[in-house]
Amino acid sequence: MLKREIKMIAFVALVQIVMAGATLSARAQAAYAAMAPVDEYLMADANSEIALARSGAPASISDGAEVMVLGREGYTTAAKGTNGFLCIVERGWGAATDEPEFWNPKIRAPICFNPQAARSFAPIYLMKTKLVLAGKSKAEILAATSSALDRKDLPALEPGSMCYMMSKQQYLNDEGKNWHPHVMIFVAGDAAKSWGADQADSPVIVANDPQERATIFMLWVPRWSDGTPGPPMIH
């Protein structure tokens, strides 16, 4: 009897979580159904954006990175680098076009790509940015990036591509806010199963990204880029 009651409590809790997630998603879809005015995605001060971008990785890495900032026509280099890394502050369109917060103007996601990812993964986001600022729809953005990947106008993903997302100031979405400091590893194709990702007790979280033709593995790390402790690492 007790076991049956525990199972029922667990089932009810699960239903509540799923319903809450569906409600949040529905609200996000309604709130961010269209692109906001461009000014809402821009940061008024370039120096503040540079500092925010560099906060994506520890200073030992980001101090030598190239930094790009967002303007009305796309990203431009604001600081030249020496180590091959690239730090930028991604906006909501860094996500797939079917994500409900794709147009959320509050999103600020500092990210520092290693040299391989800077050459072969970041160009997809930079292309999407130009399409966004040109007023293209989600469908047009998806079609254009897919066509560019098919024609090999965008580079193939290089082995060893990864990035740091360790900024305490990151705002990833309305629900997760700054979530956890983490690193991401980019692997071509659908590789989740071969990594054992999202399995019981596995520390590896995965997001399949067919629009960018990659699997994104996420690993929580214990500290923010400034060295202060992050949230408890419970998966």
154: pLDDT confidence band, cut at 50, 70 and 90?
very high
What pLDDT does residue 10 have?
A: 39
Do residues 27 and 42 both lie within one domain?
no
Taken as a whole, the chain contains a residue count of: 235
Do residues 113 and 170 both lie within one domain?
yes
Do residues 200 and 110 both lie within one domain?
yes
Share of the chain above pLDDT 90, in %: 77
CA-CA distance, 220 to 161, in Å (whole number)? 17
Asked, for residue 234, whether it belongs to a domain, the answer is no
What pLDDT does residue 6 have?
A: 35
- Structurally, the chain folds into a number of domains equal to 2
Report which of residues 62 and 17 the model is more confident about.
62
Asked, for residue 211, whether it belongs to a domain, the answer is yes
Do residues 20 and 86 both lie within one domain?
no
Do residues 98 and 62 both lie within one domain?
yes
What pLDDT does residue 29 have?
A: 73
Do residues 14 and 115 both lie within one domain?
no
Q: In degrees to the nearest 10, what's the CA dihedral of 115, 72, 52, 89?
A: -50
Task: Give the pTM.
Answer: 0.86
The answer to whether residue 19 scores a pLDDT higher than 70 is no
Give the tokens for residue 206. Answer: 């995965």
Instruction: Determine the average pLDDT of the residues in 116-128.
Output: 98
31: pLDDT confidence band, cut at 50, 70 and 90?
confident
What pLDDT does residue 228 have?
A: 98
Asked, for residue 235, whether it belongs to a domain, the answer is no
Rounded alpha-carbon distances, angstroms, from residue 77 to 46, 97, 126, 197:
11, 26, 12, 35
What pLDDT does residue 27 have?
A: 76
Do residues 23 and 89 both lie within one domain?
no
Asked, for residue 230, whether it belongs to a domain, the answer is no
Question: What's the whole-number average pLDDT of the chain?
Answer: 89
Instruction: Determine the average pLDDT of the residues in 110-114.
Output: 98
Do residues 137 and 171 both lie within one domain?
yes
SS3 of 4-60: HHHHHHHHHHHHHHHHHHHHHHHHHHHHCCCCCCHHHCCCCCHHHHHHHHHCCCCHH
Its domain, for residue 67, covers 38-220
Report which of residues 3 and 157 the model is more confident about.
157
Asked, for residue 70, whether it belongs to a domain, the answer is yes
Do residues 82 and 19 both lie within one domain?
no
Do residues 84 and 16 both lie within one domain?
no
